[in-house]
Amino acid sequence: MNKTVAGVSVGALAGLALVAYVRRKEENNYPTLPVARYVDLTKYAGDWYEIARMPARFEKECYASKAHYTLNEDGTVNVLNTCHKKGVQGKVKKATAKAYVVDPVSNAKLKVQFFWPFSGDYWIMDVGDQYEYALVGEPSRKYLWILSRTPQLDNTILDSLLDKAKKQGFDISKLIHTKHFD
């Protein structure tokens, strides 16, 4: 290995270490994020409509966002996220990933990897008794999603989920409410 390649490799590893350190520091500013007692991933699989989300660079100008989860035999979950760019009639953008359970007692804490070596926390904080809605966040409180099996969510349920998120330290004033229809 030449010195230039070695230098770039060391620099990349140092950058990854710095990102991990900063993320860990952000997580330590909050109490542990509570998750659902147990998530049956077979019931969780299928289509979900994004009802609201915290702003995220990877969802910039996304409308009508949806996720489709497929449970694999090995316990991992295939993820297919779609959205329409710049409007609900815009071009469809797709992103695929694989999720891994990191807490087998609850199945509510997952790591999602869209590309190696980067992964992100996907913690299911709440899920409806019939798996009709879900509240998903991550420990640093930077990302939050409210999901539903339908394009609209009952206001009573939505208000309850917003209240739970706010009590856990999420700045719900930043939420983007996802538009599914023109």
Residues 77 and 167 in one domain: yes
Pairing of strands 133-137, 118-127: antiparallel
Same domain, 94 and 24: no
Does residue 111 sit in the same domain as residue 170?
Answer: yes
The number of distinct structural domains making up the chain is 2
pLDDT band at 20 (very low <50, low <70, confident <90, very high): very low
Q: Are residues 123 and 151 in the same domain?
A: yes
Picking from 115, 54, 57, 64, the residue whose alpha carbon sits closest to that of residue 91 is 64
Specify whether the CB–CB gap between 68 and 49 falls below 8 A: no
* 51 and 113 share one domain: yes
Whether the bond between 117 and the residue before it is cis, its omega within 30 degrees of 0, is yes
Q: Cα(34)–Cα(140) distance, rounded to whole angstroms?
A: 12
Same domain? For 2 and 75 the reply is no
Give the structural domain span for 13. Answer: 1-30
59 and 23 together in one domain: no
| CATH number of the domain within which 94 lies | 2.40.128.20
35 found inside a domain: no
Averaged pLDDT of the chain: 87
Predicted model pTM: 0.83
Closest CA to 176 of 92, 68, 64, 76: 64
80 and 148 together in one domain: yes
List, for residues 150-161, the tens digit of each pLDDT value: 999 999 999 999
Per-residue pLDDT tens digits for 94-119: 999 999 999 999 999 999 999 877 89
